[in-house]
Amino acid sequence: MFRGVHPEQRRRAQHDRRLSKKNKMAIPIAGYIENSLIEWEGNIVSIIFLPSCNLRCPYCHSPHLVQPSDRLETIPVENILEAIKRNRAWLDGIVISGGEPTLHKNLEELIGALSSLGMKVKLDTNGTNPDVLEDLIRRRLVQCVAMDIKAPLREERYEEVTGVSYDLSSIRRSIELIMSSGIEYEFRTTVSPAFLNESDIVEIARTIKGAQRYVLQGFKPNNCLDNEMLNIIPCPVETLRQFAKSARAYVENCFVRGEEKKELCRQW
């Protein structure tokens, strides 16, 4: 059957058949973007969105993903893996986002299937599940992690921005794990003037002093979990740039989302 076929093609075909037999995993997928050039710098990626979240950030732009998966229409994982298999010649990797992906017990299985297709994996997380994160990093299952830091690490401030009370030792542990992981990572904060000001951003930057990269994302008043947020006027980009400049006292590579290259140009 494989006569005349290059050994590598044969290996891949056998591997793909094994994979498709194996891929009867139960993990709800709430969304899929086939290609993106901006989600993982320097990489062409597809994005998989997993539903459910344990936080309730009022400005959340994915309110549909915050709810439990049994209330959502989902895409069969087999369809996603087939699409990735078709596109793998030009794809560098996959971003797994949410919701909060670490809430899913079959996350590791999904990552395993993606790795088997030759994809490297970036994980987006809110950092509330350091045990899962530690396991994925220790076993080299993810090649990049992007973690949200919602507010200065004081309980009342975190609760204000995330809508739930939370033990911040998990967040601190996730930060430590990521910073000592040796893999590519970024921390990021959504800046809504309803919750954060310049000294808050500097305080966060001090907490992650020496980090690889810290990205400030401007809040946008559309499609928010809490409709009250639609009345909030976002910070002008000049204000975000000023916040980033102040944060650079602690994290040299701090910039406003989408402006990293511009910052480099200014420094030249």
Q: Which is nearer to ligand SF4, 46 or 62 (CB)?
A: 62
Q: Which is nearer to ligand SF4, 190 or 250 (CB)?
A: 190
Q: Which is nearer to ligand SF4, 88 or 173 (CB)?
A: 173
In 149-236, alpha helices (H) = 155-162, 168-179, 198-207
Q: CB of residue 224 vs ligand SF4: minimum separation in angstroms? A: 10
Strands 45-49 and 31-36: antiparallel
H or E segment to which residue 254 belongs: strand 254-256
Token pair belonging to 30: 């709430």
The helix/strand count (H/E) of the chain reads as 10, 8
- Residue whose entry in the numeric block shows the structure tokens 């989302």: 257
For the chain, the maximum distance between any two Cα atoms, rounded to a whole number of angstroms, is: 67
Q: CB of residue 100 vs ligand SF4: minimum separation in angstroms? A: 6
Q: Which is nearer to ligand SF4, 66 or 107 (CB)?
A: 66
Amino acid at 181: S
**Residue 86 half-sphere exposure toward CB, CA atoms < 13 A:** 8
Q: CB of residue 223 vs ligand SF4: minimum separation in angstroms? A: 11
Q: CB of residue 52 vs ligand SF4: minimum separation in angstroms? A: 9
Q: How far, rounded to the nearest angstrom, does the alpha carbon of residue 77 sit from its chain's CA centroid?
A: 19
Q: CB of residue 65 vs ligand SF4: minimum separation in angstroms? A: 6
| Positive/negative CA dihedral, 229, 232, 237, 241 | negative
H or E segment to which residue 161 belongs: helix 155-162
Q: Which is nearer to ligand SF4, 113 or 147 (CB)?
A: 147
C-alpha angle 219-224-228 in degrees, rounded to nearest 5:
95
Q: Which is nearer to ligand SF4, 33 or 264 (CB)?
A: 33
Token pair belonging to 96: 């797994």
| Distance from C-alpha of 145 to C-alpha of 114, rounded to nearest angstrom | 16
Q: CB of residue 146 vs ligand SF4: minimum separation in angstroms? A: 11
Q: CB of residue 20 vs ligand SF4: minimum separation in angstroms? A: 31
Q: Which is nearer to ligand SF4, 15 or 154 (CB)?
A: 154
- Interacting residue ranges for ligand SF4, rule: CB under 6 A: 53, 55-57, 60, 62, 65-66, 98-100, 126
